[in-house]
């Protein structure tokens, strides 16, 4: 039987994106399609506490879901289903959902004498850093979908190979290490090493592939699930300790180090928080969220199309709300609540339109 905490945690993470992407507008960290003139303390703290573990946790959960999916279908059926649920929505999103975001980015930066159709030509014919803040091609928030599609295919091929005779010989040696008592240290060391490898647009393919496979492996072993649940308080203490160490490093030590040291320590801290926080959330989910109700049934259908739709709607609202120069907390509350409501209204409309269920990955 599928464990319901997987769906609860995934759905909660997707709903949190309304807060996350609103907070990004008001932070001192990095660029975005639209940015407020002044940062906000809440936004800075929220991003610092979530950016390292947020998306990696979703890849872990995708691996866990794959374990249950492969109990009902073979590898070929799984790949076909992934193409339908992920690849088609990604293509639709690149054509329809993403270009308005990069258009707003150009307008926000002062390019007033452009129309949307000339922008489309630029979007589809120019590539720079894949971020899209300059108006060039970008997958925007849909990077997760194409990464998930690729990692799902590669991950399943690896999983299937591990069930062959040579694969079993290797997995039988590796599994006690990865899922044993010293697993935390081995996995952390692996994540730190992978964090040092150059990424694509700041997103680590190999890191997320490892987390996907770990999600599959963890949920294929009932003893691991029980161990995670039983040790949830320990993981919470480790999370709090890691956050404290991270805060000391960030505010007292980071500015005194050179570039190489900062790059290395940032990678170690990010990997540690990502792993410990993810394990803590999953362990408490196992204990308290393995329940099913009508809310979960609704969110299971709505969350993926909501993910696709939300960022464009949120940015349109921000484009018109930020120039009003309201107090930051009022702007934040308005953007979160309005984008949440309008996105779910858009979902309800889309699911009643023919073919949109396929284009948004609902079927």
Domain ranges of the chain: 4-359
Taking a C-beta distance cutoff of 8 angstroms, is the pair 287, 344 a contact? no
- One DSSP character per residue, 215-273 reads HHHHHT-HHHHHHHHHTHHHHHHHHHHHHHHHHHIIIIIGGGS-HHHHHHHHHHHHHHH
Task: Tell me, rounded to whole angstroms, the distance of Cα 140 from its chain centroid.
Answer: 12
Q: How far is CA 21 from CA 27, 237, 339, 355, in A?
A: 10, 28, 11, 28
Residue 201: what pLDDT? Answer: 65
Say how many C-beta atoms besides its own lie within 10 A of residue 356's C-beta. Answer: 16
CA torsion 334→340→343→347, rounded to 10°?
-160
Q: Which two tokens stand for residue 158?
A: 């690896």
Taking a C-beta distance cutoff of 8 angstroms, is the pair 25, 42 a contact? no
Q: Which of 2, 139, 154, 17 is nearest to 70 (CA)?
A: 2
Taking a C-beta distance cutoff of 8 angstroms, is the pair 140, 90 a contact? no
Burial class (CB in 10 A: 0-12, 13-18, 19+), 352: exposed
Q: Is the dihedral of CA 245, 246, 251, 256 positive or negative?
A: positive
Q: Which of 295, 289, 158 is nearest to 229 (CA)?
A: 289
Task: Tell me, rounded to whole angstroms, the distance of Cα 229 from its chain centroid.
Answer: 23
For the chain of 363 residues, list the mean pLDDT of each consecutive stretch of 10: 91 96 92 91 90 92 93 87 94 96 94 89 87 89 95 92 82 73 82 80 83 91 90 94 88 76 84 92 95 94 96 97 94 97 97 91 82
Taking a C-beta distance cutoff of 8 angstroms, is the pair 334, 317 a contact? yes
Q: Which two tokens stand for residue 196?
A: 């040092």
Q: Rg of the chain's alpha carbons, rounded to an integer? A: 21
Spatial separation of the C-alpha atoms in residues 135 and 130, rounded to whole Å? 10
Residue 60: what pLDDT? Answer: 95
Burial class (CB in 10 A: 0-12, 13-18, 19+), 226: exposed
Residue 103: what pLDDT? Answer: 95
Half-sphere exposure (Cβ direction) of 64: Cα atoms closer than 13 Å: 26
DSSP state of 200: B
């Amino acid at each position: 039987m599928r464990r319901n905490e997987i769906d609860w945690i995934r759905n909660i993470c997707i709903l949190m994106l309304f807060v996350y992407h609103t907070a990004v507008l008001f932070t001192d960290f990095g660029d975005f399609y639209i940015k407020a003139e002044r940062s906000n303390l809440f936004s800075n703290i929220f991003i610092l506490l979530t950016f390292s573990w947020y998306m990696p946790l979703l890849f872990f959960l995708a691996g866990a879901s794959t374990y249950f999916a492969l109990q009902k279908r073979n590898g070929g059926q799984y790949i076909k289903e992934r193409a339908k649920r992920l690849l088609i929505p990604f293509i639709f999103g690149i054509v329809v959902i993403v270009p308005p975001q990069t258009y707003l980015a150009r307008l926000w930066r002062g390019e007033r004498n452009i129309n949307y159709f000339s922008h489309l030509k630029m979007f589809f014919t120019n590539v720079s850093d894949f971020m899209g803040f300059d108006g060039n091609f970008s997958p925007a928030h849909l990077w997760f979908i194409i990464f998930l599609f690729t990692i799902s295919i590669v991950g399943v091929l690896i999983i299937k190979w591990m069930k062959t005779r040579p694969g079993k010989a290797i997995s039988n040696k590796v599994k006690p290490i990865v899922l044993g008592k010293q697993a935390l240290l081995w996995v952390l060391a692996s994540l730190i090493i992978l964090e040092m490898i150059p990424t694509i647009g700041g997103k680590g393919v190999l890191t997320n592939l490892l987390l996907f496979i770990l999600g599959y492996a963890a949920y294929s072993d009932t003893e691991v699930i029980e161990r995670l649940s039983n040790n949830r308080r320990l993981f919470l203490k480790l999370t709090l300790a890691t956050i404290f160490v991270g805060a000391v490093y960030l505010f007292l030590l980071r500015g005194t180090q050179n570039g190489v040291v900062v790059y290395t320590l940032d990678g170690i801290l990010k990997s540690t928080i990502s792993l410990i926080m993810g394990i803590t959330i999953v362990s408490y989910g196992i204990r308290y969220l393995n329940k099913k109700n009508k809310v979960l049934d609704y969110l299971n259908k709505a969350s993926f199309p909501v993910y696709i739709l939300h960022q464009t709607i949120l940015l349109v609202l921000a484009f018109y709300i930020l120039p009003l120069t309201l107090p930051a907390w009022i702007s934040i509350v308005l953007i979160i609540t309005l984008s949440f409501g309008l996105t779910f209204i858009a979902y309800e409309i889309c699911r009643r339109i023919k073919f949109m269920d396929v284009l948004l990955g609902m079927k």
